[in-house]
Amino acid sequence: MKHFTYEEWKRYANNELAEAEREVYEDHLYSCDECLDVYLEAVAVIELPQMESGSGFTDLVMAQIQAEAIEPAQPRIHEEKKRRPFYQSPLFHYSLAAAMTILLMTTGVFQSITQYAGAVQDPDFQEKKTSVTEGLVDKTFAWMDTIEKKNKEANK
């Protein structure tokens, strides 16, 4: 089994290979754990590049912070809130819901609903339904009875 070098895996990770070569590399990754480790190492190096000048970056950030600290902060201009109509406020919605509830309670709608629900749950209201299994058993016995009658008539 041919193993690929670190540089070859780096080229693969950077997508610098032809499509046919990429397929060969991918097939090899499925069967070789050593090359998979080398490939993962190459990907890690590509994803996390080395910082060349850490102190230069720090100096740049500190200079930007000082420049922002020197500039006076702009006062925020408060925009006037647009007043919504009263019918769009939550207070109106809650008040309307409470008023409708009180109206329905005083007219007895809720009580009539509970009486209707009680009547629906009454066993006399509900039909007695036979199960499918009972129906099949009854039909089977009826069919067997007709066969027995035909056999008795044929034997006479």
pLDDT in tens, 4-38: 888 888 888 888 889 999 899 899 888 888 888 98
- d(C-alpha 46, C-alpha 14), whole Å: 8
- What confidence score (pLDDT) does residue 102 get? 95
Query: Residue 23 domain-assigned?
Result: yes
Query: Residue 38 domain-assigned?
Result: yes
Segment 91-97 mean pLDDT: 95
- d(C-alpha 51, C-alpha 49), whole Å: 6
- d(C-alpha 155, C-alpha 153), whole Å: 5
Query: Residue 121 domain-assigned?
Result: no
Task: Name the burial class of residue 153, with classes exposed (0-12), middle (13-18) and buried (19+) by CB atoms within 10 angstroms of its CB.
Answer: exposed
Query: Residue 22 domain-assigned?
Result: yes
Query: Residue 30 domain-assigned?
Result: yes
Q: Is the pLDDT of residue 79 over 90?
A: no
- Both structure tokens of 113: 């609903």
Q: How many domains does the chain have?
A: 1
Q: What percent of the chain has pLDDT over 70?
A: 85
Q: Residue 153's pLDDT band (boundaries 50, 70, 90)? A: confident
- What confidence score (pLDDT) does residue 104 get? 92
Provide the residue range defining the domain that includes 14.
Answer: 6-47
Q: Is the pLDDT of residue 127 over 70?
A: no
Query: Residue 139 domain-assigned?
Result: no
The residue behind tokens 């032809």 is: 18
Query: Residue 81 domain-assigned?
Result: no
Half-sphere exposure of 14 (CA within 13 A, CB side): 11
Query: Residue 34 domain-assigned?
Result: yes
